[in-house]
Structure 1
Amino acid sequence: MNTELIALLKANIGLPLSPELAADLCIAAGRLETLVQASDIGKIEPEHHEGFTFAIERIGDITDEIKPLHRAHWNETEVHRHNLPFNPDYETFCRYERAGRYVLLTLRQDGKLLGNCAMYLDKSTHTRTIIATEDTLYLLPEARKGRAASRFVAYVENAMRVLGATEINITVKTVNKACRFFRLLGYRHVENGLTKILETEDVQLETA
């Protein structure tokens, strides 16, 4: 009996079938193809650099620990969305993680969590190759010294390469200097992204 699927159906009885809910149902029902096997992810060993430890961890195991880091990231880089609720959906992160489509990489010092990079994995419909898309990449200020940040990114890149990804997509915010940092690491500026927060007055309803 698929208890996860039953619980998900019960929790959403009477609600519209949104794209997000449809994806969750497919994952819970086992209909969404597992893209990367857990055994392959487990092959990626931790690395050490000047007192820092880089590793792959399961977000389901460190949810409470990572919440303050997510809040710090939101406060520092997501100013344009601060009128929206900060409400990460950790259950969905875990579902994608179980399907081999979400990988969490962490940076620690003396056991303390100081940074993380979460990558979504998917197969491109244009090239049929695996694309790794950054969801979160954030280090606390005390982890931004020396070459820790660049070495962490190199660890992320190697992990994605091991998992079969041939392309990495990363977004950077205009509130910091991350764009210059990634350009120095060989990332190319190939597009500009624009964001608009829809206010109530932006929505015009036609009347008969």
Structure 2
Amino acid sequence: MITFAVEDWFAVRDEMSHLWPAHWEEVAVNRDTIPLELDMESYDRYAMCGALHIVVARAGGEVVGYHASIVRPHLHYRSSLSAFTDVYYIAPAHRTGRTPLRLFQFVEKTLKERGVQRMFTGTKKSLDIGNLFEHMGWTEFERHYVKTLR
């Protein structure tokens, strides 16, 4: 059974790190020119000021997934606390049944408990889970583009 919990970044980051290369391999654009190189100092700063919200998925005690978001007032709506998704991932072997849905339901619940009014997230075109978001009542409102400048 997979369980979900909000966990402390400093306590769990090393346990999460074994998933980062596989996550990057699966979804990163421009892997051939831009290497995976997490800015740990920035993550640490967000965690220290209470802005980093980490939800961890565990199976048998092992970290098998995560969701990370930055929680802060919106720059355009200062009185509105928002959560901006940084990353989410569940190891492929654990993407069974309702696990992805349960992860996002837990994230929503815990962010709402923090006073968050709106969540922002995205989905990769190569691994589109937009149907899941729509099922959960999310609204598609924007499209993003990326261009590598050489």
Q: TM-score, normalised by structure 1?
A: 0.68
Q: Which residue of 1 aligns with 2:133?
A: 182
Kept in 2, the 8 Å contact 1:63–1:90? The answer is no
RMSD (Å), alpha carbons? 1.3
Say whether 1:123 aligns with 2:76: no
Q: Which residue of 2 aligns with 1:103?
A: 53
> 2:19 is matched with which residue: 69, 73, 93?
69
Q: Which residue of 2 aligns with 1:42?
A: none
> 2:28 is matched with which residue: 78, 93, 100?
78
Kept in 2, the 8 Å contact 1:116–1:137? The answer is yes
Kept in 1, the 8 Å contact 2:57–2:64? The answer is yes
**Highest Rg: 1 or 2?**
1
Higher strand share: 2
1:1-208 pair list within 5 angstroms: 51-127=1-77, 128-199=79-150
Counterpart CA distance in 1 for 2:131 and 2:33 is 28
1:180 aligns to what SS in structure 2?
A: helix
Which range is displaced more, 61-70 or 159-168? Answer: 61-70
- Between the two proteins, the alignment pairs up a number of residues equal to 149
Tell me which of the two structures has the higher relative contact order, counting C-alpha pairs closer than 8 angstroms and 6 or more residues apart: 2
Q: TM-score, normalised by structure 2?
A: 0.93
Identity %: 28
Q: One-letter code of the match for 1:92?
A: S
